[in-house]
Amino acid sequence: MKKQIPILTSNFATLIAGDGYYVDKTEFIPRLESLNYPNIFFLRPRRFGKSLHLSMLEYYYGIQYKDKFTELFGECYIGKPENFTPLKNSYYILNFNFSGIKTQEEDKIEEDLTLKSIGTRF
């Protein structure tokens, strides 16, 4: 069965569960960890997979997704036991999504931040 090319999804788990086509970027996880930088910036043009990449990292590092590891990463590079890193599923992840905040109206920013910005997935 052919994999489907995903349309408008930036959620790694949704993509994998829906048998969507995913270009495996998990081989970069050990490289990122070896950099040992306090901050890492992903600078890419719009629609270049930044959000999907961050979602993949969320599911890899999140303690709350430990039970789903094989389901999510079984077919990926990082899903093979010899490629696991010591930090796999070792953090509690709190996800902030500011993409829905409308900044055009100054008086609406605080309201939007209060209502829309915290997107936790526990």
Looking at the fold, whether 24 and 69 belong to one and the same domain comes out as: yes
Domains: count for the chain: 2
36: left (phi over 0), alpha (psi -120 to 50) or beta: left
CA gap 49, 75 in Å, rounded = 19
CA gap 29, 57 in Å, rounded = 8
CA gap 113, 119 in Å, rounded = 11
Band the pLDDT of 42: cuts 50, 70, 90.
confident
Q: Name every residue whose Cβ is closer than 8 Å to that of residue 61 and which is 6 or more positions away in sequence.
A: 87, 88, 89, 90, 91, 93
Radius of gyration, CA atoms only, the chain: 16
Looking at the fold, whether 100 and 41 belong to one and the same domain comes out as: no
- N residues, the chain: 122
Looking at the fold, whether 98 and 87 belong to one and the same domain comes out as: no
- Confidence (pLDDT) at 1: 62
For residue range 84-114, list pLDDT tens digits in order.
999 999 999 988 777 777 788 887 787 777 7
- Confidence (pLDDT) at 60: 97
Band the pLDDT of 122: cuts 50, 70, 90.
very low
**Cα dist. 119→23, 84, 95, 109 in Å?**
25, 27, 6, 17
Band the pLDDT of 121: cuts 50, 70, 90.
very low
Domain range for 75 is 12-91
- Tell me whether residue 5 is in a domain: no
Looking at the fold, whether 59 and 87 belong to one and the same domain comes out as: yes
- Tell me whether residue 2 is in a domain: no
Phi, psi (5° rounding) for residue 60?
Answer: -75, -45
- Confidence (pLDDT) at 115: 65
Looking at the fold, whether 81 and 114 belong to one and the same domain comes out as: no
For residue range 44-71, list pLDDT tens digits in order.
888 788 889 999 999 999 999 999 999 9
